[in-house]
Copies of this chain bind each other. A is one copy, B any other.
């Protein structure tokens, strides 16, 4: 009989199974998870009360009532950088636009817009005229691609959290023209604090971590023959661009060109223009 000791327990757990005969991929994940979780427990010399706090924390995360079902477990993996790490690992085609977290605020069937439309009402915000093209990895235009967009207003508020905004404000869907062009008017969004009233928020406060999301616009793109893309585009120079709480700021940076209002007396806000091209992967790339 081989007793369980500090030296044998990790391998004993890994060996306690059929070596992947039933489900090779699950066994691979299990083996690696056990190895790394045990290394963590050893490294910090985790105590029984701390392990119990960990169990309690996960139970509270699962049971925390959020505005979306199971939202707090998603938030947990976002805050640990795991959600973004998984996306980084999958983004292997150099030329395509990086994917990013969908987040919980996407709503299907957003208002249909025409090219050039303004997508929301915000009297205080600075206008942003955004345009660009949807392309394939060879630089060829993709006509009739569906673009869905959603963003907060200039105060960092999404329509669904702000009764003063009409439903569907700063949301929209439209199609590229035959040359792959899109163009719409919006406002420069502001960043915002992720709600932190649950167990994840409690831990963040004890870590001295803020919950700021750098200002961004969400996009979802789909076109026949191409892999759908969900991504975020960040505003250059926005606060905490270096320290977004979901670690989502990569290379999708929107460079704004500022235009002062010609009519200073009327106290018009400055407006901005920006261009951003999206590049989609062909479906074959997934095979």
Contact = CB atoms under 8 A, between A and B. Distances in A.
Interface string A18-31: 11011100111110
Given A12-B247, A84-B9, A207-B27, A73 B48 contact: no
Interface in A64-85: 70, 73-74, 77, 80-85
Q: How many copies does the complex hold?
A: 2
A74 B251 CA distance: 42
A281 B51 CA distance: 22
Contacts of A250: 3-5
Interface centre among A22, A77, A208, A245 (most CB of B within 10 A): A208
Interface stretch (A86-94, A120-128, A156-164, A262-270): A86-94
A45 interface: yes
A206 B2 contact: no
Interface in A12-52: 12-13, 16-19, 21-23, 26-30, 32-48, 50-51
24 contacts: A1-B242, A3-B250, A4-B84, A4-B244, A4-B248, A13-B81, A19-B208, A22-B205, A22-B206, A22-B208, A29-B50, A32-B40, A32-B44, A33-B44, A36-B36, A37-B40, A38-B81, A46-B89, A47-B86, A56-B70, A61-B62, A62-B62, A62-B63, A63-B63
